[in-house]
Chain A
Amino acid sequence: MYSVLLATLLAATPASPGVRDLTVDPGASSIRFAITHRLHHVEGRSTGVLGRAVIAPDGKVQAMVRVPVSSFDSGDGNRDSNMQAALEVERFPFVTVKAVGALSRAAAGGALPLTVPLVLEAEVDLHGVKVARKVPVQVTFESGGAVHATGEFEESLDAHRVERPSLFFVKIEDGCRIAFDLVFREARP
């Protein structure tokens, strides 16, 4: 009761001045992955992205993105089923990435659109195993207020203790390339 009332009231309370609170526009954003088998290269994508980023007046950034494993589509329903089995989707239904970083002063001024590079300290939670890494991101501040973030990085499936699926008894390679194209817009009250 208390927590519900509190949450309701806080949602109606405005933010501190200068803090930018941004949420991912799922319709304009996507996350792609690519894996390699000796016989073929497979790419898949998800548009079921949930994400939020907060930019403090001093340029500090916190971001969090969550994607349901079941939303990834490689264009092959059977392969997607196998992928879900390998990632134990019933136990670990989401891939979650949290990241922090700091925008340079260049991001504070200049004409829009303005693109600035940013290296985030990130934590990738896949298959219930969290792995820390640096993720280079290109952040573009659009003139309409949207923020566009793109980048890619490679995850080791072994590091996340994923039992790599195999085709004809040959396992897929360990590296899974993940690319993201996220459009953030101002959160609405």
Chain B
Amino acid sequence: MRSSSSLLFAALVAMATPAPVHAGLLVEPLRPPLPGSPRAAGAADLSTDPARALLALAADPPAGDGKQKEGEKKAKPPPAPGDLDFDLLGAEVAPQGPDPAQMKLRRQLLTFHQGVGIALYSLEVTTVVLGQLNYRDKFSTHMNTEKWRIPHKSFAYATTAAMVLNGALALAAPNPTKKPFRLDRVGVHKIAMFTAFAGIATEVGLGLYTHSREGYMDQQHLAKVHLAIGYATLAAMTVGVAALVL
């Protein structure tokens, strides 16, 4: 049985022992010795090595600690050459990790966001092409067949719905490892897509108003502005996609 006073005495003896030449170096006995080193061969003399003596005391636990596992009582054999069973850095103090449920949800939502994003870009391109054809039919050729009006309108609403859905997915995705905003790829993507969202919202209102100005002199001018904003929206969306792809 080892009392705490005997341990303390051994500790004081250890502290009183003169330091060897390399006083700046940490002693190693808490960890397995280097393979092949004299200490690995068990050559250390407990009477002259205070650290070893302390280790020996520690290996022989005081009474009342009998619940300690049997395996812990046995001294760990020195590692064989090449053995990597050592720990030079001590216990890991893990930083507070993010919530795994939130990380999983984020990944799911952003994967879905990518799929909807691809569909959104395709819809936007189609809507702009149909809008250009509609403008040409009505104001350039003056044939005014209106054959492109319903397809353009349908795709415009589908684009708007996809935009709202995708924006909602992005905003709903939690970011438990959030960092301060910076103008990186995703920063550019966010700015560009917010611009595209503003463009689409404007286009919906302006498109409806332009259609209501049938027969008025300003309709062509309004349609031209609507067309220009449509191209600008497509450009913003292209920047947003390119920021991630390129």
Contact = CB atoms under 8 A, between A and B. Distances in A.
Interface of A: 1-3, 5-7, 9-21, 39-40, 50-54, 56-58, 60, 62-64, 66, 68, 70, 75-82, 84-85, 88-91, 93-94, 98-100, 121-123, 132, 166-169, 186-189
A72 to B, nearest CB: 11
Nearest to A60: B34
Q: Chain B: interface secondary structure?
A: loop
11 contacts: A2-B7, A9-B15, A10-B51, A12-B15, A14-B27, A21-B28, A58-B37, A76-B184, A82-B107, A93-B94, A123-B84
Q: Tell me which of B50, B58, B97, B176 has the highest count of chain A C-beta atoms within 10 A of its own C-beta.
A: B97
A79 B26 contact: no
Q: Tell me which of A56, A62, A66, A189 has the highest count of chain B C-beta atoms within 10 A of its own C-beta.
A: A62
Q: Chain A: interface secondary structure?
A: mixed
B103 A85 contact: yes
Contacts of A189: 23-26
Given A16-B39, A168-B118, A21 B25 contact: yes
Interface of B: 4, 7-8, 11, 14-15, 17, 19-30, 34-37, 39, 50-51, 54-55, 57-58, 61-62, 81-84, 86-89, 92, 94-95, 97-100, 103-104, 106-107, 110-111, 114-115, 118, 175-182, 184-187, 244-246
Contacts of B82: 100, 121
A41 B186 CA distance: 16
Contacts of B176: 81
Contacts of B118: 168
A80 B182 CA distance: 13
B175 A98 contact: no
A107 B107 CA distance: 49
B92 A66 contact: yes
Contact of A91 (B22, B97, B111): B97
A54 B29 contact: no
B24 A40 contact: no
B179 A77 contact: yes
A90 B84 contact: no
Nearest to B81: A100
